[in-house]
Chains A and B, each alone.
Chain A
Amino acid sequence: MDASPGKRKNATTDATGEIWDLRLYVAGQTTKSITAFENLKKICEEHLAWKYRIEVIDLLKTPQLAKGDQIVAIPTLVRKLPTPLKKIIGDLANTERVLVGLDIRSASR
């Protein structure tokens, strides 16, 4: 996982003006977390071009943030924007399910 947690990655506005605001909750640099981050980055680059922003939150450093987004499982990916809020838990290994979970298919169409 190259990105230090909590830092924004690739944030730009595009012609569509729609930004995908994603948060990935992790707890330290575990294998699952690293896998999840890498999978997410790959999916986003493929399907969302530059219209996304990923915030990685390490709960070991900021545990109080877990409450706000009702985080139970690690890793959890939260789609803050566009609404409605969506959550995907797991290492995001199944790209298909991630796309369904984030509703990306319809957006990129």
Chain B
Amino acid sequence: MVTAKQDPDVLEKCPTGIKGLDEITKGGLPRGRPTLICGSAGCGKTLFAMEFLMRGAMDFKEPGVFMTFEETTEDLAKNFQSLGFDLHDMISRGLIATDYVLVERSEIEETGAYDLEGLFIRLGNAIDSIGAKRVVLDTIEALFSGLSNITILRAELRRLFRWLKDRGMTAIITGESGVGLLTRYGLEEYVADCVIFLDFRIQEQISTRRLRIIKYRGSSHGADEYPFLIDEYGISILPITSLGLDYIVSTERISTGVPKLDAMLDGKGFYRGSTILVSGTAGTGKSSLSATFANAACMRGERCLYFAFEESPSQIIRNMGSIGLDLSRWVKEGLLKFHSARPSLYGLEMHLVTFLNVINSYDPQVFIIDPISNLSSAGTASEVKSILTRLIDYLKMKKISTFLTDLTHFGGNLEHTSEEISSMIDTWLLLRDIELNGERNRGLYILKSRGMPHSNQIQEFLLTDQGVGLVDVYTGSGMVLTGSARAVQDARENAAELSRRCEADRKARDQKRKKTLLEARIAALRAEFDAESEELSLMAEEEQKRQMVLVEDRSEMALLRKGKPTRKSVRNGSGKGA
């Protein structure tokens, strides 16, 4: 029966090697078929085609023919050079063959019937000379301006594309877009398999390159407009809208660089790979906090990528020197890489592509953008949000810890980001000014931190020449004090405490004295009592003695009267007797 290769239902694909394109086309361009790349002048068609050939020759062992109608081989070589490819070397190694086709209308007279067999022969010859698998025709529309018989031309082009198909060539045909048309001469009519449109748009003086797959017969493909970037490594397309939320997260914790802040975050710091946002008004220490975090990462031996939208690298290094951070050391060791650019340098999509390109080439563990709020000068809020969502998704997927700072404006809601990305943030630190008693101090608190218990306290944020520090603010007596007010209040409290302590001591002493006094009085009373009871017993004794004496006296008297003493007589005796 039919094998997979012959099965017409299964479209075999030819990887382009262009970053990102193979993802959105789900494997590459249709193998053995022509693909039309169209777009306006300067949109990168030739470069696209060039990279397709070069990557094919270098990475996929598929030699290619570049047939150019616009540039000489020499010019072409220069263009290739700009992408780091040595065309002459590749030609001599038999990986690439070029043919410059020049059709000069002024030299040519047409009489009667003709065909383009000459072109076929040249192409065929070039293909055979290196056993090519890929072909680029850039841009075949030049024929339309060189030859006047459109009927013949159209018939011949149709034959050419069929011929390429028959020979199994994966071909790229470029075409310049016309007014309201994909290509000026309607090439899309002939190349029906795959059409890719490149766009170079300028919006508010900022240019963005975009790519869209208009058509891909027999295959599903990403349907969005994808921004792409042309840099010294060629074309990069970033199909990052397709990312999902199925990344694996880490439970590892990393230090914030500020021990006390680590303590506030459950004593362990941030989660690795989480997204941290620091927002605050101007001058609250956002950059210092990010530099501290970067410094901590470098100390752990991790690579850190620092995107600065406000300052140049040397300025950051100088300024952070003033809080005791030596960042230049890390730059020298290759652990820290700065990337400074003005946000308005290019469009948002371009920024995103730049981010991802640098991330991919540097492969950092920590990524810092300072600040993201500046991006809004390059696009609308929803655009910024879309960019940041895709960026954060991408970074999460790569388990890169992300530290973003956001400048909030005075009078604005502090607990609100202008980019509306708060829901994407795992840990949100808020830096705020605390204005009191004619001075301004910095306060830091944790607005949220997913997946960990965290402190609810406002801490005073100090920038010293020893780095960033946090101090507990004064929160007694129903008010929050910072800075010198906190110090004054502390001193006041200390004094009050001292006097309270003295008072207590005094009272204790008083009490002791009272006790002594009381004891003394008790002793005195007891002594008095003792004295009295002694006297009393003495008196009793005396009385007894007296009674005894009296009895003795009476009996003696009775004896003397020689009568019997009666009680009555005794009682009255004295009277009678007297």
Contacts and interface: CB of A to CB of B under 8 A. Distances in A.
A27 B111 CA distance: 18
A97 B149 CA distance: 15
Interface string B111-131: 111111111011011000000
Contacts of B107: 85-87
Given A59-B121, A73-B147, A87 B109 contact: yes
Contacts of B147: 72-73, 89
Nearest to B107: A87
Contact of A90 (B110, B117, B122, B125): B110
B108 A89 contact: yes
Contacts of A71: 118, 121-122
A17 interface: no
Contacts of A67: 99, 122
A90 B121 contact: no
A32 B121 contact: no
A73 to B, nearest CB: 4
B115 A101 contact: no
Contacts of A75: 114
Interface string A75-109: 11000000001111111111001101100000000
Interface in A21-80: 25, 27, 32, 35-36, 59-60, 63-64, 66-67, 70-76
Contact of B111 (A74, A86, A98): A98
B111 A91 contact: yes
B122 A66 contact: yes
Contacts of A94: 111-112
Contact of A66 (B103, B109, B118, B146): B118
B109 A100 contact: yes
Interface in B136-162: 143, 146-147
B125 A72 contact: no
Interface in B59-114: 99, 101-104, 107-114
Contact of B109 (A32, A63, A85, A101): A101
A87 B108 contact: yes
Contacts of A100: 109
Contacts of A25: 118
Contacts of B115: 32, 73-74
Given A66-B125, A70-B102, A72-B143, A101 B111 contact: yes
Contacts of A60: 121
B111 A97 contact: yes
A22 to B, nearest CB: 13
Contact of A92 (B112, B117, B119, B124): B112
A70 B111 contact: no
Contacts of B101: 70, 72
Contact of B114 (A64, A89, A97, A101): A89
A90 B118 contact: no
A93 B119 CA distance: 22
Nearest to A26: B117
A97 B147 CA distance: 16
A32 B152 CA distance: 14
A12 to B, nearest CB: 26
B122 A73 contact: no
Contact of B117 (A74, A93, A97): A74
Contacts of B108: 87-89
Interface string B433-446: 00000000000000
A75 to B, nearest CB: 6
B221 to A, nearest CB: 34
Contacts of B143: 72
10 interchain residue pairs of minimum CB distance:
A101-B109, A93-B112, A90-B112, A74-B117, A91-B112, A71-B118, A63-B125, A94-B111, A27-B117, A97-B111
Interface of A: 25, 27, 32, 35-36, 59-60, 63-64, 66-67, 70-76, 85-94, 97-98, 100-101
Given A74-B116, A88-B109, 16 more contacts: A25-B118, A60-B121, A63-B125, A66-B118, A66-B122, A67-B99, A70-B101, A70-B102, A76-B118, A87-B108, A89-B114, A90-B114, A91-B112, A93-B112, A101-B109, A101-B111
18 contacts: A27-B118, A32-B113, A32-B114, A35-B112, A60-B121, A63-B125, A66-B125, A72-B101, A72-B116, A72-B122, A72-B143, A73-B147, A74-B118, A74-B121, A88-B109, A89-B114, A93-B111, A97-B111
Interface of B: 99, 101-104, 107-119, 121-122, 124-125, 143, 146-147
